[in-house]
């Protein structure tokens, strides 16, 4: 699957993103659709570890409103090498609120790249979305 390149992402992030996508596809190809998100998270983490790619699971993302930290924090499914957010789903299909969710995570975290994936897709290419936070003028 050819990934669209963005000029505002470094070559290192692009290389890392290709490794992440390869890992996602391998996990899906190996176990297929039909499991719970936790199983895919476990398998993807195992694959990343085998590739010597660092990650954090369920990383808290603090939310601030008017410079005040809110009591509730989000938990990001995976953050790869402090550069890429991965949001895992096992749904009948991805819906607009899923994309809005990862866009919010990118904005609040300051990261530029995320992957939204639905492991319940028959073909992973149909369940994977690459989300790049675009610079605003």
| CATH of residue 21 | 3.40.960
123 occurs within a structural domain = yes
Among residues 80, 137, 90, 67, the alpha carbon closest in space to that of 111 is found at 80
Average pLDDT over residues 36-46: 96
What is the pTM (predicted TM-score) of this model?
A: 0.88
Mean pLDDT of the chain, nearest integer: 91
| Per-residue pLDDT reduced to its tens digit, 66-93 | 999 888 888 999 999 999 999 999 999 9
Number of domains in the chain: 1
Q: So what's the pLDDT on residue 7? A: 54
Name the DSSP class of 124: G
- Has residue 33 been placed in a domain? yes
- pLDDT band at 9, cuts 50/70/90? confident
Helix (H, G, I), strand (E, B) or coil at 25: helix
The domain in which residue 106 lies consists of 11-132
109 domain-assigned: yes
């Amino acid at each position: 699957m050819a990934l669209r390149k963005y000029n505002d992402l470094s070559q290192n992030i692009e290389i890392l993103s290709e490794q992440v996508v390869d890992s996602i596809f391998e996990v899906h190809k190996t176990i297929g659709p039909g499991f719970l998100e936790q199983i895919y998270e476990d398998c993807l983490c195992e694959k990343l570890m085998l590739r010597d790619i660092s990650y954090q699971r369920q990383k808290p993302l603090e939310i601030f409103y008017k410079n005040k930290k809110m009591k509730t924090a989000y938990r990001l499914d995976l953050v790869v090498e402090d550069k890429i957010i991965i949001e895992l789903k096992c749904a009948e299909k991805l819906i607009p609120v899923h994309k809005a969710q990862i866009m919010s995570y990118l904005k609040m975290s300051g990261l530029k790249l995320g992957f939204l994936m639905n492991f319940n897709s028959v073909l992973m290419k149909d369940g994977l979305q690459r989300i790049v936070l675009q610079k605003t003028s």
